[in-house]
A and B are shown apart, each in its own frame.
Chain A
Amino acid sequence: MRLIVNGEERELSGNFSVAGLLEHCGVKAPRVAVELNFTIVPRSEYPTTSLREGDEIEIVSFVGGG
């Protein structure tokens, strides 16, 4: 399955949910926001939101400095 994650094309084998992709990328879900095809995915829907070929995912991290 071909996905675009944070602007970069990624080839993944198998099916992934948003939660699965975060786990695959080693990202801790509570501290990021996930945008799927330009819409923020509600946190509670991470496990049930399936990713499809060509989906664009943006993992938005909290930026803390100032």
Chain B
Amino acid sequence: MDLGAADLERYARQLILPEIRGRGQKRLKAASVLVVGAGGLGCPAAFYLAAAGVGRIGIADDDRVQVSNLHRQILYTTADAGLPKAEAARARLLALNPGLMIEMHAVRFAADNARELSARYDFIVDGADNFATKFLINDACYFTGKPFSHAGAVGLSGQTMTVDPGRSPCLRCLFLGPPEEGVAPSCAEAGILGPVVGLIGAVQALEALKVLAGFGEPLLGRLFTFDAVTMKTRLVRVPRNPECPLCGARPTITRIAASTAPACRDGAAAP
């Protein structure tokens, strides 16, 4: 996909990077990303991906913008309250970069549409606000062979890992399945600060750009963890787990199915 004069002007500062140049920018222009959940993680991730010139971006979210989202979900303005997030996000991303194709999916990413949705994109960003969807993304990406960025953030900490299914450890290699009810807090219970999800969401966008443009070392087999209180970061080395129920030697998960674990959604405000 060729770059025009407008592209050369808009992306001038990233085009001079040896890691990007014209070759990487053309790859980004031809690439597509699905952002599942346009919340605290999905907003900054989608914003940076659109800014960087990823040609086609899908937004899957069935929520509406609430005033309590605005301290961290940076795609939305106060005037967007009440609008479907997919619609408000699309308008904001097109205002930033009108040349892109932004696709609205005002549906919940669920077992019955996970395969179809993920199959249509080159890379998936997990911006989901609940455990079950995070594992569903993991499973759907395994069965469709799509690389994805997993992430979670709650309170003042967050973590993220990139997965190239079948070639790098998956979420289930590390954690077998979603935590039980009440074990891990939701954003509604524990709270969340905008820059914490902002930082992790920005890392997710960076990971997508690395995989799509083909540079650097993505967080494959490495879980990046961040604690805002102490500013400690860690890279936990994650090996593939031969006993993984999904990508191990004797898988017990052989199709995309809804997790039985409860979601951490609070109903009132999506984290």
Contacts and interface: CB of A to CB of B under 8 A. Distances in A.
Interface of A: 7, 28, 30-33, 35, 38-40, 42-44, 58, 60-66
10 contacts: A38-B237, A40-B174, A40-B238, A58-B234, A62-B179, A63-B153, A64-B130, A65-B40, A65-B129, A66-B42
A61 to B, nearest CB: 6
Instruction: Please name the 5 residue pairs, one residue from A and one from B, whose CB atoms are nearest each other, closest first.
Output: A63-B152, A65-B154, A65-B187, A65-B271, A66-B41
Nearest to B45: A66
B155 to A, nearest CB: 8
Interface string B124-164: 00111111001000000000000000011110011100000
Contacts of B158: 63
B118 interface: no
A43 B176 CA distance: 10
Q: How big is chain B's contact interface, by range?
A: 35 or more
A65 B176 contact: no
B128 A60 contact: no
A37 to B, nearest CB: 11
Nearest to B183: A31
A31 B184 contact: yes
Contact of A64 (B40, B184, B197): B184
B108 to A, nearest CB: 14
A66 B126 contact: yes
A36 to B, nearest CB: 11
A42 B126 CA distance: 25
A66 B236 contact: no
Contacts of B177: 30-31
B251 interface: no
Given A7-B232, A33-B238, A64 B134 contact: yes
A63 B159 contact: yes
B152 A65 contact: yes
B58 interface: no
B175 A65 contact: no
Contacts of A28: 180, 183
B202 interface: no
B154 A64 contact: yes
B220 to A, nearest CB: 14
B192 interface: yes
Contact of B236 (A7, A42, A58, A64): A58
B119 to A, nearest CB: 22
B131 A62 contact: yes
B152 A64 contact: yes
B69 interface: no
Contacts of A33: 174-175, 236, 238
Given A60-B159, A66-B151, 11 more contacts: A28-B183, A31-B175, A31-B176, A40-B238, A62-B178, A63-B153, A63-B184, A64-B178, A65-B152, A65-B197, A66-B126
A44 B190 CA distance: 32
B236 to A, nearest CB: 6
